[in-house]
Amino acid sequence: SGASDELCFRGNIVSKSGTAAVKALTVYAGKASASPLDLVKVSGSPSGCALKIDCNFENYADFVIEDSIKFEVSGNFSGNGRFKASSSEMKFGGNIDFSSTEFDANGCTLTFAASDSNPKIFTAKSDGSTQLCNLSISAGTNVESSSSFSLSGNWNNENLAGGFKASAGTVNFSDSADSVSVKGNNEFYVLKFENSGTTVKTVRFDSGKIQKINGKIISLGNESGRIKLTSDAAAPSYSDSSTWWKIDLPSGNVPAQYEFTYTDVEYSESANDIAHDWGSSVAESVEASTKNWFYRHFYWYGTIDTKWATPGNWSTNAASYAASSFFPPYLRGSSEITITKNDTNVLTLEDSE
């Protein structure tokens, strides 16, 4: 039932085979409240059949997609119902508003595939609880977001000219997968990785592509379950930076020590110096495979003696310098500072007098 330009369904929609195509579909529970909701179930056989909606889709029901049905909406998606899919592929051509939707589609791939270059807006729940599995952005499609949401799978951006831009919010790769990939050039606000397991979580970034981060990067591994940030190149080389992944993080937007733990970084070049006193659990896992990541300031503290060469006289805490009573003169021979790499002296500071 419904008006001349829409179809309203109460009950189950069953597609036995092929493609179920409708001009307009509104799933409505009888009133615009979240509860109680009617159950609308879409199921199909054989695998690969599709439900296509050539318009906007408003869902106010308990909408369930079963089997391996492909679900495609050319317009916008909104509503305050529940949207559940088990192993389906979902493709959207317009804006997606999940701010009032209980989205339950772990295992699905959500694809933005617009027919024009106008940015499509993705809005998640305000509390950041929206959980996606795989997210894909088709070539020529631009997506903008200011929301926080999580992914348990991979990020695939095929729009080489951009594709994703976040003005706020956090994209969090939660800790349910041991290996994830981040493809394409992306502009995140906060990019976050988590691992609470007991095996290494490997994050493979698209080699040669740039991850622009306007806020900060957070990586939370643990002692037995580290996080490795690396390139997806088949054979990355420390001597060939074209096989590295790139990060553009403003030099003043470095994470606090507690926000970046038990993490290995390799085959990566930062556009700016990440001037940070990384904790001891953060490492360059392959010698000379990073640029501008590991950078430290040392300040004179002088708690041991007056010799420059005594390590305990130096601190990476700027407040230590202000607390020191004096800065001693540099004396040739008695307090030389030698910098070594692979047990080879590469630099010795000497008095000019």
Sequential DSSP letters for 195-238? --SSSPEEEEEPTT-EEEEEEEEEEE--SSS-EEEEE--SS-BT
For 296-302, which contacts have Cβ atoms below 8 Å and span 24 or more sequence positions? Answer: 300/324, 300/327, 302/326, 302/327, 302/328
Specify the pLDDT at position 321.
55
Instruction: Specify the amino acid at residue 43.
Output: S
- Token pair, residue 190, equals 């906060």
Specify the pLDDT at position 83.
86
Percent of the chain past pLDDT 90, that is, above it, reads: 39
pTM for the whole structure: 0.76
pLDDT of 1 strictly over 60 = no
pLDDT of 29 strictly over 50 = no
Residue of higher predicted confidence among 343 and 211: 211
* 281-323 pLDDT tens trace: 888 888 778 888 876 556 677 788 877 777 777 765 555 555 5
H/E run at residue 172: strand 170-173
Q: Residue 190: which residues within 8 A CB-CB, separation 6 or more?
A: 148, 169, 170, 171, 213, 215, 216, 217, 218
Rounded to a whole number of angstroms, the CA Rg of the chain reads 26
For 280-286, which contacts have Cβ atoms below 8 Å and span 24 or more sequence positions? Answer: 281/221, 281/223, 285/228, 285/230, 286/238
pLDDT of 16 strictly over 50 = no
Specify the pLDDT at position 106.
75
Q: Residue 34: which residues within 8 A CB-CB, separation 6 or more?
A: 80, 81, 100
Specify the pLDDT at position 161.
86
* 95-136 pLDDT tens trace: 999 999 888 887 789 999 998 889 999 999 999 999 999 999
Q: Which of 6-20, 72-86, 92-106, 333-347 has the lowest mean pLDDT?
A: 6-20
Q: Residue 290: which residues within 8 A CB-CB, separation 6 or more?
A: 265, 266, 267, 268, 269, 270, 284
Residue 206: Cβ within 10 Å count: 21
**Mean pLDDT, residues 147-165 taken together:** 93
